[in-house]
Structure formats: C-alpha cells, structure tokens
Amino acid sequence: MQYDVTTPAAYLAVLEDDWRKEQLLTLRRLILELGPELKENIEYKMLAFGDGQKNLFHLNAQRHYVSLYVGNIEKVPGAKTLLEGLNLGKGCIRLTKSKDIAQTGLPTFIQRVIDIHRQGGEVDC
C-alpha cells in the first residue's frame, strides 16, 4: 500500500494498528539498532533508511505482508542461506504474520548489508 506522507512520523501514524505495524516496527528498530548512523526518511512513499545520499533499505506495509527492499539480495554473501524459508524477490523480502523475525537470519542479513555499505560497497540492482 502507498501512503501519501512526507515524514516517517506521519507514515507510522497512518499504519493500521495490526500485525503488519508490529512487524514493520520490529524491522525498523532492528535497522536503527544495527545502523545507528542511518537516517530515516520517506522515499517512494515508504520508510527509507540511508546515509543522506543513498538509501539502503525501504520498508512498507502491504495488504498481506510487510516488505523489506534491499536492492539485489544476491549481492549479499550467504543471503540465500540466511533468508531460507522467507518469501523473496530479487530485492524484496516479504514477511507475513507468522514469521518471527528473531527466528530468521534476517538480523544477520541486515547487518551484512550495513557492513557492505560501511566498507564502500553496494547492493544496488
């Protein structure tokens, strides 16, 4: 779903208070904890996290899942193993209600994306 908002606070305010908001907030906290230097903003009507010049992650609550967009998943070493059991696209990880983020390799995957960025690399399409 797309929300016509201009700030992260406005985005969070318009989310329905259901499992999608809970999943999205869990991912948001994880990204901000692992990458405290990342700035939260809005891009493409979604939450985005980057360094002020380039965004590494986008988060969005869809009707049936929460999407985490990361560019090209295959550019992250070990991604297929870390994300096993999750619904994946080329640059999208779709999380459903039944997925416990802490029980997946997603925290390690997010850390690897941040580490690649810190080392000057990229995971863009």
pLDDT tens for the 125 residues of the chain, in order: 678 899 999 999 999 999 999 999 999 999 999 999 999 999 999 999 999 999 999 999 999 999 999 999 999 999 999 999 999 999 999 999 999 999 999 999 999 999 999 999 999 87
- CATH number at 52 reads 3.90.1150.200
The answer to the question of residue 2 being in a domain is no
**What's the number of domains the chain is made of?**
1
30/49 Cα distance (integer angstroms): 12
Q: For residues 96 and 89, what is the distance between their CA atoms, to the nearest angstrom? A: 14
Give domain status of residue 124, yes or no.
no
Q: Which residue has the tokens 């700035």?
A: 39
Q: What's the confidence (pLDDT) of residue 3?
A: 80
Rounded Cα distance between 115 and 104, Å, is 19
Q: What is the pTM of this model?
A: 0.94
Its domain, for residue 97, covers: 8-118
How far is Cα 73 from Cα 69, in angstroms, rounded to an integer?
9
Q: Say how many Å lie between the first and final Cα of the chain, rounded.
A: 22
